[in-house]
Amino acid sequence: MYTPFHFPYTTDSRYSKRVAYFCMEYAIHQPLKTYAGGLGYLAGSQMRGAFELKQAVVGIGILWKFGYYDQVRKQDQGMDVLFQEKSYGFLEKTNIQFSIRVSGHDVWVAAYYLPPDIFNTAPVFFLTTDIPENDYLSRTICHKLYDSNPETKIAAAILLGQGGAMLLEKINWLPEIYHLNESHGLPLAFYLYGKFGNMEDVRQRLVFTNHTCEPGGNEKTSLSLLARLGFFGSLNMAEVKSLLHPDNDLLDNTAVALQMAGISNGVSKLHEQALRKMKSLQDTDSLISITNAQDFTYWHDESMYQAIANDDNAALRERKKETKRLLFEEVADQTGEVYDPDVCTIVFARRFAGYKRAELLLSDMDRFKRIISNATRPVQLIWAGKPYPMDFPAISLFNRIVEICKTYTNCSVLVGYEMKLSKLLKAGADIWLNIPRMGHEASGTSGMSAAMNGALNVSMPDGWFPEFAQDKINCFVIPPADSTLQDHEQDEKEASVLYDLLEKEIISLYYDAPGQWMNMVKNGMRDVLPFFDSRRMMGEYYSRLYSHQKMIFAI
């Protein structure tokens, strides 16, 4: 049982400033299912990068009893949602217990600890209300990540923000910087204001990272509902309105986080520009960009990089075939289809959200059939991804693709897109396809780790990609359509361009010029380093975001 807190490693003097990192989800390793998608993958890489650099960072999260959800199949192979209780014997139960106020009632909170040596991460604490001291309703606060019940979701925000700050006081580890990774834990900001009594002290300590410009990720909630549930801690409604000057009865989480943080960042250069436009921040220097990255140590294929170091194309090619075989075992197990490691394999794997356009390849079924049925230059196509469990249009799309794939022995849809499957897909893909509608992808990190596994990125030039892409040298860039067109017109034109690229350039290059293909793969593997490794990112967070005390801005 855990009692006093200390770092089990000696922190590097360059990174000795104490930072508490608040995030609603963490994708650290397959056995720990406390994540939904890209935000969690990023947070996991940040905790691994902090460990590798020996930084004084402590992660704060929530121990989700049922995780996000388990993606399983129905009788007809369509997708189903399973909420299954999780158990983690490798987490240490602490003797820490305290209460927070939710909806006028005391809710007891306990904490679990993830020691750094389990998965090579910075120390991470996971909060839970699922303990005998609470009634059933209070226990459900930490049951489901991103619960569809608005009040439960607000209570989870209070648990992360207020509860996380109180936990740090209980272990007597007081941060110099509180890092709010997305606005889910925004009650942290109000807790700090209640503690220090002025905005200046809050801004000296609070930094904020925004990960999306999508409306679903930038919630607006009734002020009166938030106040009733205790979102603002010790502040009454008059104090909140005096502090924030809202235009109406809605709280814009992202706008308030930007207002209360001393400095904030977007997660790519393009995202910073989009965030400035969305929040009218053209004239302030309190917003910067720190481009996301993935932990190279965790994600890369060591044998592939060793082959590059030895200038051994044959070894690289053979290792790629081996990783394809490992992926194809999973394909056969789930779908009954047996794939060929010599065949060009395209993978689309990401969260099924509308703007990510999983169906773009199906826009023109005649052209799709021509590509997928080409006997001279065959292809194999794999989809994978987890929609939000209550996003019924996305689930319907997933099931539609499942039905289409039943017609073809070289097309499949996989379920269970979590870290284990993600690694298999990235190592087994020849082409990693990323086709979001332009202006909607804040960063998108899967292509980074795909490149670390010898997959060639074929992508729209959105998010992180323009900072990496050298068209036809280390990737293929899909030229975007005129942004003034309607969405369906953009989709139609960009689908046509994608079909042309696949038919006339990409697939033929794979078969007709394997040496050139291999050079592009190797360029991608080299060029993803060192900038898109989490060690660069975490170093930049210290040098640019956590050293902001002298840059306090009134917004």
pLDDT, tens digit, 9 for 90 and up, residues 90-124: 999 999 999 999 999 999 999 999 999 999 999 99
Do both 340 and 207 map to the same domain?
Answer: no
Residue at 540 is within a domain? yes
- Which pLDDT band, with edges at 50, 70 and 90, does 214 fall under? confident
Residue at 12 is within a domain? no
Residue with tokens 């953009």: 490
pLDDT at 336: 96
Do both 259 and 393 map to the same domain?
Answer: no
Q: What is the spatial distance between Cα 547 and Cα 290, in angstroms, rounded to a whole number?
A: 14
Do both 30 and 77 map to the same domain?
Answer: yes
b/e for 490-513, b at 16 or more Cβ within 10 A? bbebbbeebbebbeeebbebbeee
Residue at 553 is within a domain? no
Q: What is the spatial distance between Cα 31 and Cα 226, in angstroms, rounded to a whole number?
A: 34
Mean pLDDT for the stretch of residues 114-138: 97
424-480: pLDDT as tens digits: 999 999 999 999 999 999 999 999 999 999 999 999 999 999 999 999 999 999 999
Distances in whole angstroms, Cα of residue 221 to Cα of each of 120, 218, 231, 237, 256: 37, 10, 11, 14, 12
Contact 86, 50 (CB under 8 A): no
Do both 111 and 221 map to the same domain?
Answer: yes
Residue 456: which of 411, 496, 501, 418 has the closest Cα?
501
Residue at 4 is within a domain? no
257 is in which domain, residue-wise?
21-294+536-545
Q: What's the whole-model pTM score?
A: 0.95
Do both 285 and 319 map to the same domain?
Answer: no
Domain CATH code at residue 165: 3.40.50.2000
Do both 406 and 451 map to the same domain?
Answer: yes
CA end-to-end span of the chain: 45
pLDDT at 553: 36
pLDDT at 282: 54
Residue 279: which of 257, 249, 312 has the closest Cα?
257
Q: What is the spatial distance between Cα 527 and Cα 141, in angstroms, rounded to a whole number?
A: 43
Average pLDDT value for the chain: 95
Residues written for the chain: 555
Cα 540 off chain centre by: 19
Do both 290 and 301 map to the same domain?
Answer: no
Do both 330 and 194 map to the same domain?
Answer: no
Residue at 60 is within a domain? yes
Residue at 506 is within a domain? yes
- Which pLDDT band, with edges at 50, 70 and 90, does 263 fall under? very high
Do both 232 and 86 map to the same domain?
Answer: yes
Do both 383 and 260 map to the same domain?
Answer: no
- Tally the domains of the chain: 2
Residue at 98 is within a domain? yes
Residue at 243 is within a domain? yes
Q: At what angle do helices 313-335 and 302-309 cross, to 10 degrees?
A: 160
Mean pLDDT for the stretch of residues 142-159: 97
338-393: pLDDT as tens digits: 999 999 999 999 989 899 999 999 999 999 999 999 999 999 999 999 999 999 99
163-198: pLDDT as tens digits: 999 999 999 999 999 999 999 999 999 999 999 999
DSSP state of 436: P
Residue 255: which of 227, 284, 293, 292 has the closest Cα?
284
Do both 256 and 267 map to the same domain?
Answer: yes
Where is 382: in which H helix or E strand? strand 379-384
pLDDT at 4: 63
Q: At what angle do helices 187-196 and 253-260 cross, to 10 degrees?
A: 40
Do both 257 and 354 map to the same domain?
Answer: no
